[in-house]
Structure 1
């Protein structure tokens, strides 16, 4: 066995297609001392039995960009390495069996046009023309993606490994990582042992990359990081050779949980069944290598029965192979990529949810560039491992959630669809109060959040659709209450991070774009920027004392935002603490909110004492609270922070006192529809790390006249040169269509972008969307002088465009 080095710049754990891709792309950037360790043989975990489908359309622009990069990379690998990847651009047909599925497919087709992916909507007859062997019974239509394809998964991985070796990487098989040494927030090296137990040693390293696939959770624990994923059984069959069967497109029939792939004159049928079978709860066997799991024909039989009807040739062809192999699934069906929040030199690329082959090229490229530059090459929020919450590494949670996530790949991807398994983990102190009064809960980052309130006798459950769902009018009534009277909703799930110490003010002035040299009680709306001027966090910062601030973040990004601050502490004397669970928060919003607060508190809520953007300690009922006069719905209102022990009392006091004012309990859907009417940005959709703060229309929140801060140079440069894009608010002229996000934006007849978010504006009387419009060298007036349409499921709908909020553009209502 060749000697392993005692030192490396980076050690990559795992020799599947993803680990090989990371090694390939790091060496392509010129990295030396790259070591990849594989416990058995390359590809022997999941890669070897993958179906090898290369789809190019994903759920967001950047994920589509990565999938397209993968296909382009694989096309050139054979010429570079001499290893054939078997890539064939055969195209793909996806068919719908319901009207709802057809709307999903046609909306995806519109999205594909916005992302630059060739696509064609198909009638049932056109489906038959593209795929002659399919039985059209029940087919309502479909879509054709001509640039999709299929390839040989194992050979792709071997080609990537060879390419990495050619540029100096050391790729070693049959070496198991037995331990990982750590010092504080850094890994210092790995202990290894050979497969035969005859050799062992230690490799010191500057960085570690966890590409261990279904072992990723276990390897993560060794490195002190959370990598939530769980292996599930994945089934497919391969027929005997079928006479006359030649190259065919990939066929997907998601309503029957099935995909079909022609391969060497045989037909493969794969399944993503609604109730999956998690595997290896007690751990993956140590000797697992190119293994398959026991057949379970009873589990697969319903899908096979549908398939024989849909693809009649399967009824006469024999079964050559019945295969059952494990693949890893994450709690939200998005893979894990990026720098682990718990450590400062541990990177993750794992949990690819059956799309590892089509994702590996792009994921390896993006991670390598991130490692090279120290910052993301573009927004990777969909897959950034820091989105995962610590509790999601719980084994029982992963076991229960993975039963659902495999099947969700082919389930209807309805807007607002909620996960059903592993629920109820995180509950706010108001949970039972809201439940008793009709709350219908959704889940975000494990938090149970009241999304809407059912009426008396109404079913407390979602009835999903691409049209107006069963809660549409409920949310509209909640919306009107906040606009016209007074509403109350639970914001306890939002992250609360306390920053305190003698350098708290100086630290925040460095890490954030706002000015935090403000009086005690002042609230600053602000962004944390990266060196490019992109938005890493969108938060409010409240000065609690001379040495303490409270940073309030979206629930889903609390860990990421806290980690961002911790990584920039340097020599600043501060302590950063998550205090989210310590305080419950009730938002009281609407024209009558002041009147309600005056009934439950002797404190002064006037503009003279408590103007917009300030906080004060108050008495509330028999207890205490802190009242923050801010709003995310665009109305007069307060967020009331109450210590968790007094939360129940605060709720009961406000709710009972508010009855004769017509106080209405409201949910998160109301909050989103109100905020989009006001043009308030939603982090992760409208603003991300690749969206420049000036282009996003948030330059007002950045104070460039203060001392140096992260991103200052980029902000000054963009302010001088002008925005390269503008975030525009759109209102559809037709009140009927609904907007969600990713619908194409059409300017003067040409697609120029897509909506970053969408919802219905109940006050404005139509669907509202936000989206970026490129505007290099153009004035605001020139941008608005154009004619705009939004493509809704292939139909272009005229839209009003505005750079100022269409609702209350001068923000007069929040300051009364």
Structure 2
């Protein structure tokens, strides 16, 4: 074991010597961070990296995840020449085959998406598959895609090459040293304690930054720092055959409908599985001496995969099994890895939980994290993997054990739109949950919240039938949509985040972090964004003034930890308290042209425009209780959001339901809300607007008050205003009523792919699928942008689309203010 001395000070300490830790060390050293120390408890790669399959693909589910994967591949292609360590990297290509029509639709949609992201891809036939993979049974193949530049590599050697590159640039890599404690002061990490493996030698390192690259140990490393890192190890299986005669270099092959992947290596085949129900491992803790260990064989668990594989690849029937391997890999609650600065502790970063895609992801993840540490922000929007997306309860081990039985298999499951998790459900329920359930609600889950997505009719089964076409709830959601457009609907918004900001400096603090002006009268509601120094959007919220010293900030359900982190990081010397009060109040939205009529039946409040105009909130009597009525909308109709304390929610629901029974009041779900907001071109945070999207290019300049000084992002807004827009957010409607849009479909302008759809849904009022997306427009006017011909590509087919810079539905918002 290396007895290299451990320094007493470092700029950054990296915990964990797998491929992720080595990549972070490499990229920090490349940026000139000389005093970087990587500590590995045993030996480099001894956790998961050493037994990874080494598949290196380019295409991921979103643009920026694809950027990171492409970066990894390009890095590994150059690493051997830089370091002299053979990485085994070769571009052998990859094939994904579909065995059903639904899977063919999925992979062809992915092919369209790949073109929008600049990835070289080709749709191929079953006959083409047979040419490239002659050993394969292709009788039932319905379609396939081929990526010529995908590849494979030697995982252990890739990690060792990164480690050597880090050392070549001044970093220290020390094996046999375990971190035993993480120190902090005033909300900031200050260093670590360590102990050398097997001998009486321990000490401390004072550090400005600590990076948790602990792999399947990252959960426990996080606990030492008081940081939630939700992940759990699962058993992962593959076999390696004896040499197969005549086997030459082949592309990597994925057959997701059979949960299997194939990799040719030195004349042998590695067959791996992502089975639908996986086996969590070491739930009560990883053995202290774990190092390059295999787990016990479980042939019964793997056998169903192997049986299908023998039919798919008949040569396997004659080939002996050289190795049956079972090793642990870490999985997260949503199948996305964890990256970024922990919201609980400044300068404590996480890079872990790679869900079996660690080799293809770690190169890019290390680059992105090093940029983040160097500059204070990521190189582009990383919300897909930003650890701030995780909710505090998700560190619960019982929850994790239940959830990861599903997430491993989801890698190869059909990625249907609107697919809901099946495991670890029911953790967070709103005060209206049982009332909605009794009325036919079909629930989805966001951030652990059970939310009514749509309502089944009497006698109709209360579950999803997934498809890429119109799903079984399409007509139900249309009726809910039409009720809000033409009459009145009611839906539960309790899961949306509510953050109370209170104190003598509440107004000054919020004016610092908000683009809009919150110096308003009590009861006024302000729509605004939190901007970063680049003019990008960190949050999209409403801010309601409750008193001279108190405000309520309302956010999307999933982003509460992110908003809390942003606000607390900028609190400085402001005298304010910031408290998450989401669970304190339930919220019922009453929306539609007859909303006022319904509310007049249950409350003596004056609901007129004169007394209660748009953008204001009043305390009201509701039935025999009290509520706070906010006149705002995310659906583009007259309406109010009614906030009431949790103890009064059941009463409020019953009063409103009874009053609305003779006027056709319709209970509605989240699918309805999304189809209505897309018609109104309301932006969706995380899709249409992110931290890398400039607020002016997003078309939200009306919510920025430049005459207000000293707010974060003001200079960036002024610069963009002076320089002009380089892209514009455009709303699209397909000219054909049948095709459906979801997101990431290519936007085609005058025959060329120029961008992609950021969010979409079906516009039942407008009569077609509606999408949003940014169109590059450097030096162009609005008229120039609209003067082009547009199409949207769906699974390889281009469909004509109308384009608009104004909302296609009620562009003057006359209905909202009725």
What SS does the aligned partner of 1:323 have? Answer: strand
Measure the CA separation in 2 of the matches of 1:633 and 1:207. Answer: 44
Give the CA deviation at 1:550.
0.4
Q: For residues 781 and 159 of structure 1, what CA distance do their matches in structure 2 show?
A: 52
Matching of residue 537 in structure 1 with residue 539 in structure 2: yes
Partner deviation per Cα, 1:96-117 (whole Å, 9 max, x = no partner):
0100000000000000000000
1:128 deviation in Å? 1.1
Q: Which residue of 2 aligns with 1:451?
A: 453
Q: Distance in 2 between matches of 1:29 and 1:8?
A: 15
| DSSP 3-state at the match of 1:88 | coil
Which of the residues 229, 239, 244 maps onto 1:242? 244
Residue in structure 2 matched with residue 776 of structure 1 by the alignment: 778
Which residue in 1 is equivalent to 2:20? Answer: 18
Counterpart in 1 of 2:502? 500
The one of 138, 153, 156 aligned to 1:151? 153
Aligned match of 1:619: 621
Aligned-residue offset at 1:182: 2.1
- How big is the shift at 1:154? 0.4
Instruction: Find the residue that maps to 1:791 and give its secondary structure.
Output: strand
CA offset at residue 319 of structure 1? Answer: 0.3
Question: Quick one: distance in 1 between partners of 2:689 and 2:759?
Answer: 10
Shift of 1:243: 1.1
For 1:723 and 1:627, the matched residues in 2 are separated by 38
Deviations 1:282-337 (A, max 9, x none): 10000000000000000000100000000001000000000000000000000000
Counterpart in the other structure of 1:707: 709
1:602-626 deviation per Cα after TM superposition (whole angstroms, max 9, x unaligned): 0011110110000000000000000
Q: Distance in 1 between matches of 2:138 and 2:800?
A: 35
Matches within 5 A, 1:365-514: 365-514=367-516
Q: Say which SS state the counterpart of residue 758 (structure 2) adopts.
A: strand
Q: 1:519 and 1:712 mapped to 2: Cα distance?
A: 23
Which of 214, 217, 224 is 1:215 aligned to?
Answer: 217
Q: Mapping of 1:65-76 within 5 angstroms?
A: 65-76=67-78
1:202 to 190, 201, 204: 204
Query: What is the Cα deviation at residue 184 of structure 1?
Result: 3.5
CA deviation after TM superposition for structure 1 residue 198, in Å: 2.1
Q: Does 1:593 align with 2:595?
A: yes
Q: Distance in 2 between matches of 1:723 and 1:652?
A: 50
User: What corresponds to 2:194 in structure 1?
Assistant: 192
1:644 aligns with 2:646: yes
| Secondary structure in 1 matching 2:757 | strand
Matched with 1:691 is 693
Counterpart in the other structure of 1:794 = 796
SS in 1 for 2:498: strand
Paired residue for 1:182?
Answer: 184
Superposed counterparts of 1:244-283, under 5 Å: 244-283=246-285
d(CA) in 2 for partners of 1:178, 1:641:
47
Aligned equivalents of 2:12, 2:708: Cα separation in 1: 39
Q: TM-score, normalised to structure 2's length?
A: 0.99
Q: How does 1:258-337 map to 2 (within 5 A)?
A: 258-337=260-339
CA distance in structure 1 between the partners assigned to 2:132 and 2:322 by the alignment? 26
Per the TM alignment, residue 440 of structure 1 is displaced from its structure 2 partner at its CA by 0.2
Matched, 1:580 2:578: no
Cα separation, 2, equivalents of 1:549 and 1:76? 53
Q: Deviations for 1:71-97, whole angstroms, at most 9, x for unmatched residues?
A: 000111111110011111000000001
How much has 1:720 moved relative to structure 2? 1.9
Q: 1:653-732 alignment to 2 at 5 Å?
A: 653-732=655-734
For 1:64, the equivalent position in structure 2 comes to 66
Q: Deviations over 1:671-724 (max 9, x none)?
A: 000000000000000000000000000011000001111000010111122211
Residue 539 of structure 1: how far off its partner (Å):
0.3
Pairwise CA distance, 1:197? 2.8
Distance, in Å, in 2 between the alignment partners of 1:189 and 1:371 is 16
Deviation at 1:376, TM superposition (A): 1.8
Counterpart residue number, 1:804:
806
Any unmatched runs of 5+ in structure 2?
Answer: none
After TM superposition, give the deviation of residue 2 of structure 1 in Å.
Answer: 2.4
Q: Which residue of 2 aligns with 1:525?
A: 527
Distance (Å, rounded) in 2 between the aligned partners of 1:415 and 1:663 = 29
Q: Distance in 1 between matches of 2:378 and 2:574?
A: 25
- SS of 2:10 mapped into structure 1: strand
What is the Cα deviation at residue 32 of structure 1? 1.9
TM-score normalised by the chain length of structure 1: 1.00
* Runs of 4+ more than 2 Å apart: none
**Aligned residues between the structures:** 816
Aligned to 1:172: 174
Question: What's the offset of the Cα at 1:65?
Answer: 0.3
